[in-house]
Chains A and B, each alone.
Chain A
Amino acid sequence: MTAHLLTELTIFILAVFVGMEVISKVPTTLHTPLMSATNAIHGIVLVGAILVAGAAGAPFNAIVGFVLVLLASLNVFGGYTVTERMLQMFRPRVQAPKGPTDGTP
């Protein structure tokens, strides 16, 4: 193992701890949006996709490169859109007209 890999492994492990810490505070009511949000975040592989498919002397032909970037792009844009759509539905109790105060059972 190179020193370089060790440095990256350190970053990875620390990030795992940060992730555990942050995510354990997410309430159960938001678990679906959490899945969807993290789903969008792993779309970061789009960066890798662009680097691999877009570098000079790319190892793939254009079709594989296209599919690669397409998959990652689908992941990113779909993921964020779905999460946004879900989150805008979560509302606290609004002061809508309701009469539990005057009604008797």
Chain B
Amino acid sequence: MSATDTTPASWVDVAYLITAICFIFGLRYLSSPKTARLGNRISAVGMLIAVLATLAQGIVNWWVIGSALVVGAAIGIVSAQRVKMTAMPQMVALFNGAGGGAAALVAAGELLKVFHANAIPTYDVSFTSVLSAVIGAISFAGSIIAFLKLQEVMTGRPITYPGQQFVNALIALVIVVCWGLVVANVPNSLEFFWIALVASFALGILFVLPIGGADMPVVISLLNSFTGVAAASTGFVLGNNVLIVAGALVGASGTLLTVLMGKAMNRSVTNVLFGAFGAVKPVAAGAAAKQQNVRSVSADDVAAMLAYANQVIVVPGYGMAVAQAQHSIRELADQLEKKGVEVKYAIHPVAGRMPGHMNVLLAEANVPYTSLYDMDDINPEFERTDVALVVGANDVTNPAAREDKNSPIYGMPILNVDKANNVVVLKRSMNSGFAGIDNPLFDDPKTVMLFGDAKKSIDGVVAGVKAL
């Protein structure tokens, strides 16, 4: 298939073209919740077409391919059905890692094929196959670490050690050098390929280790984009257009989301990746005593405040996901709406552990998506709001980001919770938020705190509202 090729296109390539079109329409239909499901199905049909067309191309090793397909499908479908919505970020991370690992292996396989035939790979093949293997392996290893962090198998705090960035830079250098050697086709270049692959695996682990749990929305988006680029690059290796197009779409999507998440935190993507934000700093210990003026109230007090309000805005955060409080919140909203209270939800772009995390959880609890508001749409509303109910969110409501030039999160766009007439903060304890920063909101005279597990607290408030 060179540029001057005049042979008729094979029907397989036509099938791949149809698949690419299906993918684009699938993503296009994601622009509205009404058509999104149709979009996903169109995309799935596209995938089916591509896989069937590939299988029809005289595949040997039927039993290997067939059994792997069936086992993979069974594990994938069952785990996807069973996973709790709150565990969705780690599930997505895991599937993402699987894709990255597969891309790396495909690239390795293609290169091996050339070497086994005792041929010299063309520059195109060697360049792109190393690229694909490197990015795929980074994505695979990085996704596994992200999974372990999100699953809380390992600490969500950044793991740092002296010379961390230096070590990472060194590994990156090794990868680049090996890459060059493979492309230059030096003797034993296959061995350099394996070194590059192993080094990439190590780099994937090491680069996610120092990134904290609250920065996971950025990391997950970035790893998603990596796997996309790895898949596209595998397409270059195999000369397969559908891989190139699909990989490019995913790469674009992941990059866009990464940048969006970075903007929502007012931090550059480099700062997120290399800043080890939220690492325990010695300064934080001395500052902890400052917040004393907090007022703690009972669930019944909160119930009374909410029931006699005109408008309540719920501000969910990661704490809601941890406590699985979304169903209780929905019940509370139902009770309040019966009493004529208007309930809205304010969603910060980086609330939770992946882009749109809160939206999915609230959707699971049957909260209509029409009640969910983005930061920019809801912020003017707080002034007209009687009660802002903050459920397990902290840093995204911290007015210091707006006012205190010395705050580490200064400049980060926040939800203007402090503009509401009254603020109720649900929190497990007075521990500071992920970033270890004091939140002046808690000291505000119009703020009251309801301590305890978010779900139990809300259930208490629901009982209180019912009793009124």
Contact = CB atoms under 8 A, between A and B. Distances in A.
Interface of A: 1-9, 11-13, 15-20, 22-60, 62, 64-94, 98-100, 103-105
B103 A62 contact: no
A37 B30 contact: yes
Contacts of A38: 27, 224, 228, 249-250, 253-254
B80 A81 contact: yes
Interface in B62-83: 62, 64-65, 67-69, 71-73, 75-77, 79-81, 83
Contact of B51 (A50, A68, A78, A88): A50
A103 B372 contact: no
Interface in B99-131: 99, 101-103, 105-106, 109-110, 112-113, 116, 122-124, 128
29 contacts: A11-B241, A12-B244, A15-B20, A15-B249, A23-B252, A32-B92, A32-B356, A38-B27, A42-B96, A47-B50, A47-B54, A48-B234, A48-B235, A52-B106, A53-B64, A54-B59, A59-B112, A62-B61, A67-B105, A75-B102, A76-B72, A82-B92, A82-B95, A86-B363, A88-B37, A91-B368, A93-B368, A94-B368, A105-B310
Chain B interface helix/strand/loop/mixed: helix
B124 A105 contact: no
Contacts of A70: 68, 71-72
Nearest to B245: A15
A104 B307 CA distance: 11
Nearest to A3: B3
B251 interface: yes
A75 B337 contact: no
B248 interface: yes
Contacts of B65: 50, 53-54, 65, 69
Nearest to A34: B30
Interface in B220-246: 220-221, 224, 227-228, 230-232, 234-246
Contacts of B27: 19, 22-23, 26, 34, 37-38, 41
Given A18-B24, A31-B354, A53-B65, 16 more contacts: A19-B249, A19-B253, A26-B31, A28-B349, A35-B354, A42-B96, A42-B231, A47-B51, A47-B242, A48-B237, A69-B64, A73-B69, A75-B99, A78-B80, A79-B76, A98-B338
Contact of B72 (A25, A39, A45, A69): A69
B252 A16 contact: yes
B106 A82 contact: no
* Majority secondary structure, A binding face: helix
B371 interface: yes
Nearest to B114: A59
Nearest to B355: A31
Nearest to A23: B253
B7 interface: no
B435 interface: no
B104 to A, nearest CB: 9
B91 A82 contact: yes
B386 to A, nearest CB: 9
